[in-house]
Amino acid sequence: MFINYEHENNVYSVTIERRNNYFYVTYDNSEYKINCEEVNPGHLIIKLGDRIIKSIVTEGAQEKYVFIDGNVYKVKPIELTGRVKQKKKYAGENDLNSPISGKVVSIKVKIDETVEKGTVLLVIEAMKMEYLIRAPYNGTVKKIHFKENDQIEIGQLTIELLKK
């Protein structure tokens, strides 16, 4: 899941992926392994390493209020803009489509390269934030649809990966 939030006129982008019994949250190019439990509706206990964070999330008309460790954060979702230019054709491609419109700043793989699940394939920059496109499974890179400095639109297929 890919989320953009605005808080105090700053836009924050977060990617959340569930693997086994954990959530992997990527923020500011760092990945965090967390365990999260909803003890009551909107009441969360988040375990990040040795740290336990108690949080309450409530919804307003257009924003959410997040209470963490005595602090209140007012956040609102930001709609992503752009057009989907390419139809889905390939198995597993949902995870290989661009989550945002922006510029391809780095391609980390080459054609015919074998990659493992979670390997960063390419990096897209938008709104001064970097978004990592990761391999959703073990495979071989068959085609790279963009080169560095190309503009990319939300939903466009980034790389074709043959599943192993």
pLDDT per position as a tens digit, 110-141? 999 999 988 999 998 876 777 788 888 899 99
What pTM does this model have?
Answer: 0.45
In a domain, 83, yes or no: no
Alpha-carbon distance of 63 to 135, in angstroms, equals 32
Domain that holds residue 157: 93-163
Count CB-CB contacts under 10 A for residue 152: 25
- The CATH number for 107's domain is 2.40.50.100
CA nearest neighbour of 16 among 46, 50, 61 = 46
In the predicted structure, residue 83 carries a pLDDT above the cut 60: no
pLDDT per position as a tens digit, 133-162? 888 889 999 999 999 999 988 778 899 999
Q: How many domains does the chain have?
A: 2
Report, in this order, helix, strand and coil percent for the chain, each rounded to 5.
Answer: 0, 60, 40
Count CB-CB contacts under 10 A for residue 10: 9
The pLDDT value recorded for residue 155 is 74
Alpha-carbon distance of 162 to 24, in angstroms, equals 24
In a domain, 98, yes or no: yes
Last residue within a domain, chosen from 77, 103, 120 = 77
- The CATH number for 16's domain is 3.30.700.30
In a domain, 85, yes or no: no
In a domain, 71, yes or no: yes
The pLDDT value recorded for residue 82 is 46
